A and B are shown apart, each in its own frame.
Chain A
């Protein structure tokens, strides 16, 4: 049995304390211990991005991150993007632009897209393509995903005027 360690961190804005084995990855902790199944397992080795979450403001593959490394950090999952008023602009854009088909890759895709626009409000379509290169999708061909991202960039840009 692997050593279990108590960790404390902020999850989607709320403090959480949990005991996890040292070998456990953040993805398994989120899904199996904390019941947040929005973040998906699709490869377990950092090649597909379905497990993308945001930690201390940066996205990463939760299947590669040791759960114990969440200690003291700020973790945001797909469940944390929604506000009491409704979906966040990126989520809404994905719905409005038909970017969601089977939807399995979408939590990871939306987390990454949301991060990209946050980092670079002037994100071009080509930059968005590069930024999403670590998120595999089998249904959409990425086209409407990129349309959705573009619409959020435009919104933000127009919103600032």
Chain B
């Protein structure tokens, strides 16, 4: 029986732009969620790793006999058990080492019945080392006399990248001003609150199941397989809830194949989990670099060129860190309108810890340089500082020298919005005028912007996503997506999109995304791609389902599908909202009719970006966006302490989908950027980490968070889901140079080596004063 046509009309209400709660929040808020760190499997053993604790050495002998004999120990593995198992995309890494190349090299691994027994077993392993001279900077690493760190890489030269466009000499000659500085972005680390953890178990068919924190389940199989000598097809990847990732889980790290090797050896599940100290020492870092950057312009403010010569500390092995030049060059060539570009980057192996990817991926480092040089030049040109930014800001439709096509570009609007909201120009001038006057506390205001990918980066053959969607007889929707939820809130976005398209309540949507045997392909969480690509995939799948449902409705109700909509759990007449039949009823009718129909759809969405290409000239992301941060600070010129009073941000988000999630990601991204700017620093001496603890590695705490005023500019990206662009990296990228620029505004002191710690600032001010500044 159909619903009476006299039932109350259902109004169209969109969820786009609303505040939608994260579906897993209640379980997380009550402590019910079982993170991978909490998991216990029957018969599970605990795996612990013996780390070298020294940066460069030959291993003369390893004696594991006492460890093996300890009651409760089920396996002890060393380098000989990993022979030939090379992994990493330049195949320079191996799960258990035969030579020590950095402090956290894995020398042996134990599986035991308890963590206590495993740790005791480690202490019984006797290793004889022959220490070798170490290399602790890329400059030292490329000296002819430097010891070779990796056998297949003479001269310690790792990856090299180059991009050149235009006549640099002519551009230099045409410049009235050139900012020429060396920046040294430093080693920091992700500090995920959930420490690294993997659980591995082989079944009796030789198939591996690995519970992992990975944020890229498919290519992860491909990268893990060689470390175990098995086929990627024989690996099942399960992603339980994780305590953060931020890019640290975009590669395979040795503890993961170690868990699998121990599981294979013992025939039991093995859980390897790091202590916080191990997490600090043995996790990938953000890529540290030495950036010699030059930016030129004419006195009328037109930028003439940007040149960057970059040296990267590759560390002992190659993970994603040394590939950041792919993005560094995009900033170098695309941050503002730059006619001539000269970029080169060389990574050099050292005995330092090695870098992976970290939110902002190369752009944090590069923008720290480009945005400061913009600020330097702004004080030299004939025009007003804000006008200098606006003059060089690209507009919609422009193409960068690397062919990044800025279809929808609102950098100018972001600049104007942020500057107006913060009264930037007046304050900048006023504070600069106060600089030389007496007074302990100085106020400063600093502006920085950047450009970043907002729709992935086609560095792999595919940047796409598979989605499977079904709607059952109760009108409950299950979305099986390749998109990984790592805390960033893609679950809420997918939830929202499904509810929006199918007119079902948010609570009636289930997302399945954590098992590679079930969920289809996705490249993973990176390059600010997930909202864009998973959002589009979800929307497309949902619309396929809707089309099928409305076609069925047309057959049953005799009204054209184009005049129907799904709203409030019913099929309605689109124009007036009159409900015609409840959705669940329709689905049951579809199911039990003569020719049964279940709603099960699939979709594969590949964004319309171009592969990176060896020459790096391609439209490699489906979208790009900009953000502007204006930081207002108070500097204690005696202690050097910087208090960030307020941050005003304006970011091109394309379209706000989940407003609450967007704010949350912006706030969190800024906090990570603030730590980078002010307080976080891995203190490496001779390749050893001196501060592997929260006591001495300073994250931003609640009292240190400033007032945030966030403006979300909607440029309505044609290709993005509902117009949305990816968002989560720009907040981390832009804040540090905004603070550095504010520091200069307040004190006349500019710092090129983050963090802008109190001691560094105090020293710089002290030295400037002594220099009779």
Contacts and interface: CB of A to CB of B under 8 A. Distances in A.
Interface of A: 31, 36-45, 47-48, 50, 77-79, 81-82, 87, 91-92, 94-107, 110, 126, 128-130, 132-146
Interface in B686-712: 693-695, 699-703, 705, 708
Contacts of B37: 40-41, 104
A101 B668 contact: yes
B31 interface: yes
A101 B21 contact: no
Contacts of B661: 98
B455 interface: no
B671 interface: yes
Contact of A38 (B30, B195, B664): B30
Top 5 A-B pairs, shortest CB-CB distance: A38-B31, A102-B487, A104-B243, A103-B28, A141-B671
B404 to A, nearest CB: 29
B38 A136 contact: no
Given A37-B38, A102-B486, A137-B193, A142 B29 contact: no
26 contacts: A36-B31, A37-B31, A37-B38, A38-B32, A40-B243, A47-B695, A87-B29, A91-B26, A95-B22, A98-B22, A98-B664, A102-B243, A102-B245, A104-B37, A106-B28, A129-B703, A129-B705, A136-B193, A136-B699, A138-B190, A138-B668, A139-B244, A141-B669, A143-B663, A144-B667, A146-B702
Contacts of B671: 137-138, 140-142
B703 A130 contact: yes
Interface in B143-202: 190-195
Contacts of A95: 21-22, 25-26, 29
A44 B279 CA distance: 12
Given A101-B664, A137-B671, 20 more contacts: A37-B35, A42-B276, A45-B276, A48-B694, A91-B29, A92-B29, A98-B660, A100-B24, A100-B28, A103-B25, A104-B192, A104-B487, A132-B703, A135-B702, A136-B191, A140-B667, A141-B670, A141-B700, A144-B667, A145-B702
A130 B26 CA distance: 26
A43 to B, nearest CB: 4
A98 B496 CA distance: 14
Nearest to A35: B40
Contacts of B207: none
Nearest to A36: B31
Interface of B: 19, 21-22, 24-26, 28-35, 37-38, 190-195, 241-246, 275-276, 486-489, 660-661, 663-665, 667-672, 693-695, 699-703, 705, 708
Contacts of A145: 702
B240 to A, nearest CB: 12
A104 B194 contact: yes
Contacts of B28: 100, 103, 106
Given A31-B38, A41-B37, A87 B695 contact: no
Contacts of B667: 140-144
Given A45-B693, A138-B192, A138-B193, A103 B702 contact: no
A78 B35 contact: no
B705 A110 contact: no
A31 B40 CA distance: 11
A138 B30 contact: no
Contact of B22 (A42, A47, A91, A101): A101
* Of listed B242, B243, B695, B699, residue having the most chain A CB within 10 A: B243
Contacts of B276: 42-45
B622 to A, nearest CB: 25
Given A48-B193, A103-B24, A139 B487 contact: yes
Contact of A110 (B29, B194, B195, B245): B29
A105 B19 contact: no
Contacts of B670: 141
A113 B469 CA distance: 39
Contacts of A92: 29
Contacts of B703: 126, 129-130, 132-133
A67 to B, nearest CB: 15
A94 to B, nearest CB: 5
Contacts of A50: 193
A98 B19 contact: yes
Contacts of A139: 193, 244, 487, 664, 668
Nearest to A146: B702
A105 B193 contact: yes
Contacts of A126: 703
Contacts of B243: 40, 42, 102-105
A102 B194 contact: yes
B694 A103 contact: no
Contacts of B487: 101-104, 139
A124 B488 CA distance: 28
Given A37-B38, A42-B194, A106-B28, A138 B702 contact: no
Given A98-B21, A140-B668, A43 B192 contact: no
B34 A37 contact: yes
B646 to A, nearest CB: 13
B150 to A, nearest CB: 32
Contacts of A144: 660, 663-664, 667
B705 A47 contact: no
Contacts of A38: 30-32
A105 B31 CA distance: 10
Contacts of A36: 31
Given A48-B694, A100-B28, A133 B702 contact: yes
Contact of B705 (A43, A91, A142): A142
A10 B557 CA distance: 62
Contacts of B695: 45, 47
A129 B705 CA distance: 9
B193 A104 contact: yes
Contacts of B22: 95, 98, 100-101
A54 B309 CA distance: 54
Given A42-B276, A142-B671, A100 B705 contact: no
B195 A42 contact: yes
A42 B193 contact: yes
B241 A87 contact: no
A9 to B, nearest CB: 19
A103 B21 contact: no
Given A44-B276, A78-B30, A91-B30, A132 B193 contact: no
B748 to A, nearest CB: 30
A111 to B, nearest CB: 9
Contacts of B693: 43, 45, 47
